[in-house]
Structure 1
Amino acid sequence: MLRRYGLIGALVALLVCILWTPTSAAPADGPCRVLAPGASDAAERAVGAACAQVAADVWYTWGGGHGPQPGPTYGQVDPTDPASEHDPERLGFDCSGLVRYAYAQAAGSDVLDGVASAQFYTHRAAGRFTAAQGLAPLLPGDLLVWGTSQDLHHIAIYLGAGKMVEARQSGTKLMVSDVRLNGDYYGAVRIDPGPVTGHVVRTWGTGVWTKVQPSTTAARVYALPGPTTIRVECQKHAETVTSDGYTNDAWSYLPDYGAWLTNIYIQGPAWLENVPTCTF
């Protein structure tokens, strides 16, 4: 049996537990906000827009956020993921849908429409970082991606201090997570939603591969899924290509892909006007 002072102490402790209300309710994974200095105003607005959706307890939904306008949409069933069975009933975002919405809110226009690979290879890049560089050069608002150059399957928004906000997987809500540098982390890109500098052109065709060298036999980098806005640094004469009724020996270097594309699939003349000749 408890001694008298022990019983009184226990009752007091119980009363405190009943009446006490925490002053903050930060999630276990930490607060969703900018966690380091140095980000641009647009990047900070993008973080704020994504974090507002976390605070609203929005669901991950496969395919969510890819409607005609940026914003949450009902998802789809992912045939490879049994946990997605309820996604058509849930209004929310997938990983790239959240990124699209966050930067649309920050920029006032739909600057990052598309899936994770299209967002990483965007012509609106202000900087790129490899997996080997780790987190040291990154700023809040940078976009982290996972996968390979040919298949980037996940994207998230960096908060700073080793944290990120993401739409991770079916059956979960939008969340703050520790950055996962293990596995297939590929790198990061910094977004500038302002006016684009350089030679910006449009491609045509579907499934058009970019190459590590200006040759059809060179290793593949990434297949443009459809007509895509790209940035060209320079062009040069190299291997002659015949495809889709056209023949051309001009190739353009795409700095956002670190790769080459035959000019056959770039809208415009066979030799692009006002684009310099590559010296490498």
Structure 2
Amino acid sequence: MLRRRHVIAALTAWTVLLLWAPAPASGAPPVPRPAPAVAPAPASGAVAASGAVAADDTCAVRAPGASAAAERAVAAACEQVAAGVWYTWGGGHGPRPGPTYGQVDPTDPASEHDPERLGFDCSGLVRHAYARATGEDILNGVASAQHYTHRAAERFTAAQGLAPLVPGDLLVWGTSQKLHHIALYLGAGKMAEARQSGTKLMVSDVRLDGGYFGAVRVDTGPVTGHVFSTWGEGVWTKAQPSVRAARVYAFPGPTTVRVQCQKHAETVTSDGYTNDAWSYLPDYRAWVTNIYIKGPAWLDSVPTCPSDMR
């Protein structure tokens, strides 16, 4: 016991000396002190709609510049991501926007359980997001129809990369003849997507390789321009107003299109009709014979294209 008292007394004395040690002389190095705790730096470019920084895997508006409707579309898609909704092939294409049970994709063995899963495929999610954002079913269709929408405000090529994009823009993959995937851009190089069978809706890094085709910004306001509907199935648009010109895109069925102008060019005979009028479709950057546009042989109110336009 006595020895223990001596030890305690010695420790007390040393503590007093340390507490009352004089400050170092001018120019002497300061006594090191523990650094205060610092919060980790935010992820670069990840900005939520409120201005707060979002974590890398957070589904949110992650950059400025989007319209209010586009931000609502992102929020609607992210709500489904947060809920852990499944990808399901054909999901989201019911009579009204929203999740539906899927189908078996004959090309994908992983889709065997899709008929049991309530969810979305890629275009079903996009359809739902913009329907929630606008209160109207403005993007009802598959990926190609959504990309070539007559509601396009602006289009971007793959060569332009992500720099000009804002949250809510639609990213697509494939070729001019077949677009097979679409996703919703969040900003800061991230996107929300329904990717493939066997997975749930997710936030991913934008894949600029593997067939990235470009993007489109959706105009949620009133439709502008001369809008018509096509008829027939597998009707090809062409790079020039000629049946021998390169193919651009085939309408799988009746499609709403915006016509910029029309001109007399190569005469075409098809399905019992003969016509030399061709219409230029700015959303496709392509031509289609007027035979497959519902209306008269020469479309009312549509101007004639400039003579040098090919």
TM-score by shorter chain over 0.5: yes
Distance 1:234 1:145, change over 3 A: same
Structure 1 residues 131-140 or 188-197, which shifts more?
A: 188-197
Identity of aligned residues (%): 83
Equivalent of residue 82 in structure 1, options 93, 105, 109: 109
- Matches of residues 160-239 of structure 1 in structure 2 within 5 Å? 160-239=187-266
Secondary structure in structure 2 of the residue aligned to 1:85: helix
Residue 34 (structure 1) aligns with:
61
Q: Distance in 2 between matches of 1:243 and 1:72?
A: 40
- Residue by residue over 1:160-216, the C-alpha shift from the partner in whole angstroms, topping out at 9 and shown as x without a partner, is 000000000011110000000012000000001221111111111111100000000
Q: Which has the higher contact order (CA 8 A, sep 6+)?
A: 1
Is the Cα contact below 8 Å between 1:206 and 1:227 reproduced in 2? yes
Residue 111 (structure 1) aligns with:
138
Deviation at 1:80, TM superposition (A): 1.1
Q: Distance in 2 between matches of 1:32 and 1:269?
A: 48
Q: Distance in 1 between matches of 2:203 and 2:252?
A: 31
Off by >2 Å, runs of 4+ in structure 1 = none
5+ unaligned residues in a row in structure 1: which ranges? 1-26
Q: What do you get for the CA RMSD once the two structures are aligned? A: 1.3
Residue 127 (structure 1) aligns with:
154
Deviation at 1:33, TM superposition (A): 0.4
Is the Cα contact below 8 Å between 1:29 and 1:178 reproduced in 2? no
Equivalent of residue 253 in structure 1, options 264, 280, 285: 280
Q: Distance in 2 between matches of 1:198 and 1:123?
A: 9
Q: Distance in 2 between matches of 1:117 and 1:126?
A: 16
TM-score in terms of structure 2 length? 0.81
Equivalent of residue 154 in structure 1, options 162, 167, 181: 181
Secondary structure in structure 2 of the residue aligned to 1:118: helix
Equivalent of residue 96 in structure 2, options 31, 54, 69: 69
Secondary structure in structure 1 of the residue aligned to 2:79: helix
TM-score in terms of structure 1 length? 0.89
Q: Aligned pairs, how many? A: 255
- Please identify the structure whose Cα radius of gyration is greater: 2
Structure 1 residues 29-38 or 231-240, which shifts more?
A: 29-38
